């Protein structure tokens, strides 16, 4: 039996790895999308774990919902990425600074 704390810590670590990927990435929009996918995955994992842990079905239903939303989101994100690449010829995040305050 794997303990509660190890599951949750794994989830949090996954989430934080996704966040760090988001924060410390300067090169690539693709990496950002992947990090967001990772964070969503971590959350999904969370739902599933708690559904199992609390013996409640709602969490699993929600996890499947999030899965579809994540798929749609990544589809739209990739579409935007493709449009962006077509215009700029690069996918660097650093050069994405036209909207300064």
Q: Cβ 98 to another protein, closest distance in Å?
A: 6
Q: Cβ 61 to another protein, closest distance in Å?
A: 26
Of 19 and 51, nearer to another protein (C-beta) is: 19
Of 51 and 73, nearer to another protein (C-beta) is: 73
Of 29, 8, 32, 5, which is closest to residue 20 (Cα–Cα)? 32
Q: Cβ 66 to another protein, closest distance in Å?
A: 19
Instruction: Give CA–CA dist 87/101, Å, rounded.
Output: 23
Note the residues at the interface with another protein (CB under 8 A): 19, 22-26, 32, 93-94, 96-101
Of 24 and 86, nearer to another protein (C-beta) is: 24
Q: Does residue 91 contact residue 81 with C-beta atoms inside 8 Å?
A: yes
């Amino acid at each position: 039996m794997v303990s509660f704390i190890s599951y949750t810590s794994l989830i949090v670590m996954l989430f934080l790895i996704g966040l760090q990927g988001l924060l410390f990435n300067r090169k690539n929009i693709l990496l950002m999308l992947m990090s967001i996918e990772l964070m969503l995955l971590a959350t999904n994992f969370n739902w599933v774990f708690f559904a199992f842990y609390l013996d409640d079905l709602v969490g699993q239903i929600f996890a499947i919902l999030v899965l579809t939303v994540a798929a749609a989101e990544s589809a739209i994100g990739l579409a935007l990425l493709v449009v962006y690449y077509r215009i700029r010829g690069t996918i660097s995040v650093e050069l994405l600074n036209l909207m300064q305050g």
